[in-house]
Amino acid sequence: MKLSLNKSFVSLLACVIPSHAITLLQVLQSYSELTTLSSYVNASSNATALLANANNFTFLASSNAAIASFLSKNPNVLTADLLQATLEYSLLRGGYPTLSFSDTPQFVASNLVNSSYANVTGGQTVELLQSSGGAETLSGNKTISTSSSADIVCTGGIIHIIDTVPSIPVSAVSEITAANLEYFVSILNVGGYLNPANAYVNQILEVPDVTYFIPNSAAALANVTEQVKNTSAAELQSTFEYHVVPGFVGYSTLLTNGMQLKTAEGGNLTVTVQGGEMYINAAKVVASDYIVANGVVHVIDK
Ligand SMILES: *[C@@H]1O[C@H](CO)[C@@H](O)[C@H](O)[C@H]1NC(C)=O
Ligand SMILES: *[C@@H]1O[C@H](CO)[C@@H](O)[C@H](O)[C@H]1NC(C)=O
Ligand SMILES: *[C@@H]1O[C@H](CO)[C@@H](O)[C@H](O)[C@H]1NC(C)=O
Ligand SMILES: *[C@@H]1O[C@H](CO)[C@@H](O)[C@H](O)[C@H]1NC(C)=O
Ligand SMILES: *[C@@H]1O[C@H](CO)[C@@H](O)[C@H](O)[C@H]1NC(C)=O
Ligand SMILES: *[C@@H]1O[C@H](CO)[C@@H](O)[C@H](O)[C@H]1NC(C)=O
Ligand SMILES: *[C@@H]1O[C@H](CO)[C@@H](O)[C@H](O)[C@H]1NC(C)=O
Ligand SMILES: *[C@@H]1O[C@H](CO)[C@@H](O)[C@H](O)[C@H]1NC(C)=O
Ligand SMILES: *[C@@H]1O[C@H](CO)[C@@H](O)[C@H](O)[C@H]1NC(C)=O
């Protein structure tokens, strides 16, 4: 009796699960909100292969409205290359159902590893956050994508339909402009850091896996303006390098009280968490977690 029950249970599974299991590509083809994405994917053998072979994933599927809005703001840029990179960035490693989002941010790796777009070991990340607006995904320049239909289960993973196409994070130097860090732009200018002779600046902006602490305040600008009057080029280089931590992508969730971070200059920075604020040495972190092509940028006040 027991054996025959087990047998029929097994045969029930064998017949029910496969007929009900739906693949990622089938979900794209069956949701009316995803017809645009589905036609793009179907037209590209690389995109089809990426999604057909995915396993253990969370896929952020841009809705028809998301793609229409993206195309209206960025005409003529959705080339096959950008489509492929955006799909890689939308395909997160691991399962993240809505219930796993919380008000503590999580930085989750995607399948975007192509060095034309990202130099972050393990794949460029997105930030997952549960806020008053719902389950949010933050991408380049803190672009927020909200899930309209979430937790669609398919073979090997989970799909969230999102209302905004994720932005692939740009280089640190482009993000300085995008985020309007105007005091820092002036600091780069008065410090002579934009001079092509100071090639170390470009090198630092391109190496993989970097954390940048970017001073962006009137006081910091005044300080540098005063300092350049009696500071050598070598000292200015050291100052710049003291704001850069190579070999470590320090999202805010990884920075803990008392942590020492070894800078490109050689000296350490000390992280202090006090009264809900984070300090890097004596400088207060005023904005955190701008994801950039090769790491992360935090903005400080000194
Ligand atoms: C996908 O493209 C093929 C041609 O490459 C076409 O035959 C098929 O109907 C398309 N499927 C969908 C769902 O658009
Ligand atoms: C598509 O795949 C082919 C073969 O792997 C590769 O040569 C080509 O660069 C890929 N194109 C994109 C846009 O990724
Ligand atoms: C990486 O991206 C470049 C530019 O989009 C593209 O030409 C190339 O095919 C991509 N490489 C891979 C392996 O997908
Ligand atoms: C799924 O992916 C996550 C994130 O990469 C990993 O931690 C986990 O071990 C994987 N699970 C399986 C069953 O492979
Ligand atoms: C990644 O690093 C390589 C050199 O290591 C550089 O040529 C490329 O521009 C970098 N990519 C990005 C997106 O910054
Ligand atoms: C980046 O985000 C800021 C703040 O939301 C916005 O003002 C700015 O226009 C954005 N920049 C780009 C290039 O999208
Ligand atoms: C630069 O030198 C002037 C005069 O020697 C001095 O007053 C000023 O404090 C110095 N500034 C810095 C930042 O060292
Ligand atoms: C700098 O920090 C590292 C840990 O990141 C530590 O091993 C080293 O001793 C520190 N150096 C100084 C001079 O404090
Ligand atoms: C001014 O520069 C000095 C020396 O580098 C530094 O100790 C101080 O924190 C700076 N002040 C501000 C407001 O950036």
Mark whether 156 and 281 lie in a shared domain: no
Asked whether the beta carbons of 114 and 35 are under 8 A apart, the reply is no
- Give pLDDT, residue 196: 86
- Give pLDDT, residue 15: 39
Instruction: Please give the tally of structural domains in the chain.
Output: 2
Domain with 32 in it: 7-162
Question: Which residues are near ligand 2 (CB < 6 Å)?
Answer: 46, 80-81, 84
**Distances 302 to 213, 218, 242, 274 between C-alpha atoms, Å:** 10, 9, 13, 17
H/E segment holding residue 251: none
Query: What strand order describes the sheet that includes 144-154?
Result: 91-93, 57-62, 157-162, 144-154, 134-138, 125-131, 106-109
- Give pLDDT, residue 62: 98
Mark whether 11 and 157 lie in a shared domain: yes
Mark whether 36 and 120 lie in a shared domain: yes
Cα separation of 135 and 121, whole Å? 26
Q: How far is the CA of 46 from the centre of ligand 2 (A)?
A: 6
- Give pLDDT, residue 294: 97
Q: How far is the CA of 233 from the centre of ligand 9 (A)?
A: 17
- What count of residues does the chain have? 302
Asked whether the beta carbons of 300 and 215 are under 8 A apart, the reply is yes
Q: What is the CATH number of the domain that holds 96?
A: 2.30.180.10
Mark whether 182 and 266 lie in a shared domain: yes
Q: Which pLDDT tens digits describe the chain residue by residue (302 residues)?
A: 344 444 444 344 343 444 567 999 999 999 999 999 999 999 999 999 999 999 999 999 999 999 999 999 988 888 899 999 999 999 999 999 999 999 999 999 999 999 999 999 999 999 999 998 899 999 999 999 999 888 999 999 999 999 999 999 999 999 999 999 999 999 999 999 988 888 899 889 889 999 999 999 999 999 999 999 989 999 999 999 999 999 999 999 999 999 999 999 999 999 999 999 999 999 999 999 999 999 999 999 99
- Closest by CA to 298, choosing from 260, 256, 226, 250, is 250
Q: Candidates 242, 256, 268: which one to mutate for ligand 8, based on the most atoms within 8 Å of Cβ?
A: 268
Q: How far is the CA of 251 from the centre of ligand 4 (A)?
A: 20
Q: Find the ligand nearest to 114 CA.
A: 3
Residue 12 in any domain: the answer is yes
- Give pLDDT, residue 20: 63
Q: What is the DSSP letter of 297?
A: E
Mark whether 31 and 120 lie in a shared domain: yes
- Give pLDDT, residue 288: 97
Mark whether 86 and 112 lie in a shared domain: yes
Residue 1 in any domain: the answer is no
Tokens of 177: 């402009």
Residue 139 in any domain: the answer is yes
Cα separation of 66 and 55, whole Å? 25
Q: Find the ligand nearest to 118 CA.
A: 5
